[in-house]
Chain A
Amino acid sequence: MKDGEVTLRFGGAAGDGIASMGETFAKVCSRSGLHVSEYNSYQSAIRGGHVWLQIRAGEKKMLSQGEYADILVPLNAQTMELHAPEVASGGVVIYNSEKLKIRDGLLKQGVRGLPVPATSTASKYGKNPIMQNVVALGGVIRLLNMNLDKLSGVLQDTFGNKAKAIVDANIGAATAGYDYVDKNFGSLNAKLNFTETSRPVMSGNQATGFGALAAGLKFYAAYPMTPASSILHWLVAYAPKFGTVVKQAEDELAVINMAIGAAHVGARSMVGTSGGGFALMTEAVGQASMSETPVVIVESQRAGPSTGLPTKTEQGDLWQAIGASQGDYPKVIIAPSNVRDCYYAAGEALNIAEKYQIPVIILVDLYLSEHIETIEADDINLSVPIERGVLAGPSNGNSYARYAVTETGVSPRAFPGEAGHEYVATTDEHDEKGIIVSDVLAGIPEHIETRRRQMEKRMSKMNYILKDIPPPRIWGPEDADITLVGWGSTMQVIKEAVLNLGEKGVKANQLHIKYLMPFHAKEVEETLKKSKRVLDVEANYTGQLAKLIRAETGFNIEHRLLKYDGEPFAPRQIVEKALEVTQHA
């Protein structure tokens, strides 16, 4: 067990309550002053199957969920078989001795089994088998020398709006588990310092929803699709009170087109989906850009192709986002890198969308969307800036040109309901007033010119956006032996690898790219050219970022660590690859 941190794993079948066990424990840790990072490995099954959740807690910011567990809580025999042999030396398996056995030779040397009669203990507090989880949680709290009151407090908050009997039963079961472990096993020698500093525990999707709401989101539409659905669930619970419509539509075509309609009349609009739904939306992404209607699209990637692995993570949609919709048109792709970043990316995306009247894609993935982690309380600024861009304002009686050619490419926006600005937004090519030049005017010299000017007007936005967004910066020592390159959700795990490499005496640094379109080609090229060795780390098969970097800069990243098995990176995997690259070169 590493000083200052501990890793737990809960495993069972879908429907066993693994996710809420994880959430409860995460909150207990957070209220005890620890940081957590959690990852729930689940399946596309509602009942049965195999689900396991890992949670790493410690005094410092936990940059990943870690790899090997110190404490395993198996809720069924499959979990025991699959996970018990992986428990780290010095760790324990705490299990229901009335249901499970540890067969000889299953555990590594130095790993102990801790039998708890959880069925009979729990039965005193209710028939629901979930009570056994609560007994186990109570036991874990004792093993880690944590304060039982913190667990009771979280249970109280979770079930507080239910009958008092339910709260009491839960607290009773937790206490019984705590007492049993106290009497029979005592504590592990985990070296953890607890404090009274409590931090918010959030998933990426919750942060995205919250960030958007704080930034004045007025219309959100979605069609259920893992791993984006939890944005819908979160927003619908909180947003309508703030005068924000949250709409589940009939399909993703409706989702984005509704959002565009809402944006057209002045509501800040966003949609959420995964790769498959985004594929359906793409024609309308071009529509938003052509009609100059601001809209934000959250695309949470899961392992493709096609239906792929619906509950597994991947960064496989970068080129789908880049290539979405026909023709050349301005759009922005932002890939937030952690939960805190999700909160601000939502507001930033809404601002860029409205300022430049374009579609903005927030590219996240299942890992970032769904895993929960602690952030600092002051990480969340509730007064986020809201920028609506240039508006036409009241009419001065002159005729209004919705698509007036300007230096920045941005023309003042007017909204239906305003007198004197009546115009038609069009997806056909149009002149400054929105009159289409695609039919009887197409090919006429004057309108060949109109077309050229409108194309240039729209595309010129990209130059200004590039100046608005910060270029990526190296993190870590300038004179490193190796530079690890990545994008999006892998930022923290790569950072952990960089730190681990440092501990091993290998100087490493990190170049993490958040803005994929427009692209800071100059800065990226200069940085990479200075690097001694470059390793591209991505969760996809073809190295989609490396391909983009080559397209934008001509720089070919020679070394690649590509993962497409659906599971998130463990820091060790990155460290090992980096060691291989530095030693072979």
Chain B
Amino acid sequence: MLDLNTYKVETKPDWCPGCGDFGVLNGVTKALAMLEIQPKNVLVVSGIGCSSNLPGFIKAYGFHSIHGRAVAVASGAKLANPELNVVVTGGDGDGYGIGMGHFVHAMRRNLDITYVVMNNQIYGLTTGQASPTSEKGHVTKSTPTGVIETPVNPIALALVTGATYVARGFSGDPNHMAEIIANGIKHKGFALVDVFSPCVTFNKKNTYEWFRERVYKLEEADHNTMNFEAAMRKAHEWGPKIPIGLFYKTERPTYEDEEPALKMGPLHKQPFPKAEDLKPILQTFF
């Protein structure tokens, strides 16, 4: 395990004191340290939101992109250089709202990317509107009479869309979270790690206490992580008991493995074409 200081930067996180995202920052950093991945070989990509500020607080390469596009940016980066460890970090609005399309497609592609979603069931940065994971009835700034829609179930969605590693963490348990993030990074394929990361300022409903009363670990519950149907049943458990940990893991070739252009290695390392190699193409036009 590398020293956690390996990933330390001067910039202090600007989250509200007590924000769940501190736990995720610790979890991601610890996971990288556990896997002994050098900062130069990590690319942390995010969108926009409180949570999406995370790349600025880790010493590594990063791309703090625009709202909802982190997974797309990360997909391009991974395709261009599969040698990088690409980790996407962002919010529930970023990933399950405006960025939902990219999320779904990245999973069916099975790119070898780890996606850590700081799911606080609220739009934090924009001061407390409903998010796609806000529970039905949740009163927020934009839903004064309560949310009418059914929330997105990211775990179930990931399962049906073809993610090959589907897990959930909780900021109240950063060591457990670090473990599942590390396993997600190690996993060859798309890994979703949805994290309950309470927004202490704008979500007065789904608080640390609320989760502490409910969460239990799948690792301690005799759950078969290779059984898709069992994972699906666990994905729908929401109420007095809510599971965290690994729901499902399977092996499938990654997109990078099957992409013909990558047979010769990362794109940026491949030579530019030579004139004589291009000549046969020119001939096709005659």
Contacts and interface: CB of A to CB of B under 8 A. Distances in A.
B103 to A, nearest CB: 10
Interface in A241-264: 242-247, 249-251, 253-254, 257-264
Contacts of B74: 261
Contact of B72 (A30, A258, A382, A436): A258
A544 interface: no
B17 interface: no
B102 A261 contact: no
A219 interface: yes
A425 B39 contact: no
Most chain A CB inside 10 Å of its own CB: which residue of B41, B48, B285: B285
A210 B275 CA distance: 12
B51 to A, nearest CB: 13
Interface string B217-256: 0000000000000000000000000000000000000000
A233 B118 CA distance: 39
Contacts of B79: 219, 245, 247, 258, 261-262
A424 interface: yes
B184 to A, nearest CB: 19
Interface in B85-123: 101-102, 104-105
A213 B277 CA distance: 11
B12 to A, nearest CB: 9
Interface string B11-43: 100100000000000000000000000111111
A424 B63 contact: yes
Contact of A417 (B44, B59, B83, B264): B83
Contacts of A436: 53, 56, 64
A265 B41 CA distance: 11
B75 A261 contact: yes
B281 interface: yes
B77 A416 contact: yes
A269 interface: yes
Given A213-B273, A415-B268, A436-B56, A260 B73 contact: yes
Contacts of B265: 243
A369 to B, nearest CB: 16
B282 interface: yes
Nearest to B102: A254
A243 B212 CA distance: 50
A151 interface: no
B76 A424 contact: no
B124 interface: no
Contacts of B273: 213-214, 216, 242
A428 B64 CA distance: 8
Interface residues of B, number: 60
A261 B64 contact: no
A420 interface: yes
Contact of A266 (B38, B55, B81, B282): B81
Contacts of A242: 261, 270, 273, 277
Given A262-B80, A266-B268, A415-B268, A254 B65 contact: no
Contacts of B75: 254, 258, 261
B138 interface: no
A254 B63 contact: no
A425 B79 CA distance: 18
B278 interface: yes
Nearest to A31: B286
A244 B282 contact: no
B46 to A, nearest CB: 9
Contact of A238 (B69, B102, B104, B281): B281
B264 to A, nearest CB: 5
Contacts of A425: 62-64
A380 interface: yes
Contacts of B270: 218, 242-243
A257 B69 contact: yes
Contacts of A253: 68-69, 72, 101-102
A240 interface: yes
Contacts of B81: 265-267, 416-417
A66 B160 CA distance: 56
A420 B11 CA distance: 17
Given A200-B285, A250-B101, A253-B72, A243 B261 contact: yes
B62 A218 contact: no
Contacts of B48: 427
A416 B40 contact: yes
A239 B72 CA distance: 22
Given A210-B281, A269-B76, A198 B286 contact: yes
Interface string A9-31: 00000000000000000010011
A219 B76 contact: yes
A580 to B, nearest CB: 40
A283 interface: yes
A219 B84 CA distance: 17
B148 interface: no
Contacts of A210: 278, 281-282
Contact of A383 (B72, B275, B286): B275
B45 interface: yes
A264 B77 contact: yes
Given A216-B273, A219-B267, A250-B102, A262 B83 contact: no
A267 B64 CA distance: 19
B45 to A, nearest CB: 7
A418 B101 CA distance: 32
**Of residues A214, A216, A424, A427, which shows the largest number of chain B Cβ atoms within 10 Å of its Cβ?**
A424
B40 A422 contact: yes
Contacts of B11: 435
A446 interface: no
Contacts of B41: 416-417
A45 interface: no
Contact of A267 (B61, B69, B73, B80): B80
A219 B261 CA distance: 10
A287 B73 CA distance: 11
Contact of B63 (A238, A264, A377, A439): A264
Nearest to A246: B261
B272 A261 contact: no
B104 to A, nearest CB: 8
A253 B105 CA distance: 12
B267 A439 contact: no
A291 B65 contact: yes
Interface in A218-250: 218-219, 221, 238-240, 242-247, 249-250
Nearest to B73: A261
A245 B261 contact: yes
Contact of B80 (A218, A249, A254, A428): A218
Given A253-B69, A253-B102, A264-B77, A216 B272 contact: yes
Nearest to A436: B56
A461 interface: no
- Among all A-B residue pairs, the 4 with the closest Cβ atoms: A261-B76, A258-B76, A424-B62, A243-B270
22 contacts: A27-B286, A199-B286, A200-B286, A206-B285, A214-B273, A219-B79, A243-B267, A250-B101, A250-B105, A258-B76, A261-B78, A265-B43, A265-B84, A284-B69, A386-B272, A416-B42, A418-B40, A422-B59, A424-B62, A424-B63, A427-B64, A435-B11
Given A267-B268, A291-B63, 18 more contacts: A200-B285, A238-B281, A239-B261, A240-B260, A243-B262, A245-B261, A251-B101, A254-B69, A260-B73, A261-B72, A261-B78, A267-B80, A267-B267, A416-B42, A416-B61, A419-B38, A426-B64, A427-B66
Interface of B: 11, 14, 38-45, 48, 53, 55-56, 59-66, 68-69, 72-81, 83-84, 101-102, 104-105, 259-262, 264-265, 267-268, 270-273, 275, 277-279, 281-282, 285-286
